[in-house]
């Protein structure tokens, strides 16, 4: 498919942060649901076909989460290491899903495993993006005590992303949990300082601070809205923008 002109896009290079939980299916007990994975890959392809350069960071919570393990007796450093490996499993699954529909892809990891993926080298990652390849970053930051939100903010900074897009199960950031509080209202826009001051849980404080320091806007939106991702990169009013 011939790609559309870049001039139609507000964000020409994005870092897409996807939660690991949205890959799983609690009803069937599958850590990686093939239908959900295909759904996500199709959304990414639509944006890729517009000519957008895309980096992806996936969480690993559908397989293992370090903090949860620490609460059950697993050493925190060991648990975080297990969680980082879980993100690499998800990265490989996403790579396969994208390549099966014709999207050129590369997986780069913060933890070196040359038989499975490339080590993260900034210049190489930029070259992949310039050549139209979707780059999936696995292994978090490569260090314990850092979330995949922090990894997403770090990678967005390293690749010079125009925006960090945080895909969630709700259509933006609210004053409270809209599922439990009927009075919760959605923010259309939000300042980094306000997000940090209010300790909004949509991303951790390290991720907010890193994006603030590097001037990278964060767009929080509902990934299950079929048109939301395309709308965001085209500059339409979608979700909540933190800037």
pLDDT in tens, 68-102: 666 778 888 998 999 999 999 999 999 999 999 99
Beta carbons of 90 and 60 less than 8 angstroms apart: yes
Quote the distance between the C-alpha of residue 201 and its chain's center: 15
Q: What is the rounded distance in angstroms from the CA atom of residue 118 to the CA atom of residue 107? A: 6
Over residues 227-235, the mean pLDDT reads 93
Beta carbons of 150 and 207 less than 8 angstroms apart: yes
Pick the closest to residue 161 from 50, 54, 49, 44 (CA basis).
54
Q: What is the pTM of this model?
A: 0.92
Bridge partners (DSSP) listed for residue 242 = 190, 218
Q: What is the pLDDT of residues 111-167, one digit of tens each?
A: 999 999 999 999 999 999 999 999 999 999 999 999 999 999 999 999 999 999 999
Q: What is the pLDDT of residues 93-103, one digit of tens each?
A: 999 999 999 99
User: Which helix or strand (DSSP H or E) is residue 151 part of?
Assistant: helix 148-158
Over residues 58-63, the mean pLDDT reads 88
Burial class (CB in 10 A: 0-12, 13-18, 19+), 211: buried
pLDDT (0 to 100) of residue 18: 94
Q: Which residues, at least 6 apart from 181, have a Cβ–Cβ distance to it below 8 Å?
A: 175
Six token digits for residue 64: 């293992």
Three-class SS of residue 214? helix
Give 8's DSSP letter: G
Q: What is the pLDDT of residues 157-210, one digit of tens each?
A: 999 999 999 998 888 888 887 778 888 888 889 898 888 887 777 788 889 889
Is residue 6's pLDDT more than 60? Answer: no
User: Residue 1 — pLDDT band, cuts 50, 70, 90?
Assistant: very low
Name all domains of the chain by residue range, CATH numbers in brackets: 6-242 (3.40.1160.10)
Six token digits for residue 182: 């009927």
Is residue 7's pLDDT more than 80? Answer: no
Q: What is the pLDDT of residues 10-31, one digit of tens each?
A: 999 999 999 888 888 878 878 8
Is residue 2's pLDDT more than 70? Answer: no
Beta carbons of 136 and 91 less than 8 angstroms apart: yes
Quote the distance between the C-alpha of residue 55 and its chain's center: 8
Over residues 106-113, the mean pLDDT reads 96
Q: Quickly list H helices, 12-75.
A: 34-48, 66-70
User: Which helix or strand (DSSP H or E) is residue 107 part of?
Assistant: strand 105-109
């Amino acid at each position: 498919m011939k790609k559309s002109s870049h001039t139609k896009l507000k964000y020409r290079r994005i870092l897409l942060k996807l939660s690991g939980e949205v890959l799983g299916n609690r009803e069937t007990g599958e850590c990686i649901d093939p239908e959900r994975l295909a759904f996500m890959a199709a959304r990414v392809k639509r944006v890729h076909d517009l000519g957008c350069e895309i980096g992806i960071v996936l969480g690993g919570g559908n397989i293992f989460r370090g903090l949860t393990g620490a609460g059950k007796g697993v050493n925190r450093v060991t648990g975080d290491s297990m969680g980082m490996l879980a993100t690499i499993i998800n990265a490989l699954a996403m790579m396969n899903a994208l390549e099966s529909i014709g999207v050129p892809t590369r997986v780069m990891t913060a933890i070196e495993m040359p038989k499975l993926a490339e080590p993260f080298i900034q210049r190489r990652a930029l070259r992949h993006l310039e050549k139209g390849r979707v780059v999936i970053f696995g292994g978090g930051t490569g260090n314990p005590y850092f979330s995949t939100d922090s990894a997403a903010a770090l990678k967005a900074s390293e690749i010079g992303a125009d925006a960090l897009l945080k895909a969630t199960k709700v259509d933006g950031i609210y004053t409270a949990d809209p599922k439990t509080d009927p009075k919760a209202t959605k923010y259309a826009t939000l300042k980094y300082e306000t997000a940090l001051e209010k300790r909004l849980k949509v991303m951790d404080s390290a991720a907010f601070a890193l994006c603030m320091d590097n001037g990278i806007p964060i767009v929080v939106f509902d990934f299950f809205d079929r048109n939301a991702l395309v709308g965001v990169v085209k500059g339409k009013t979608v979700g909540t923008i933190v800037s």
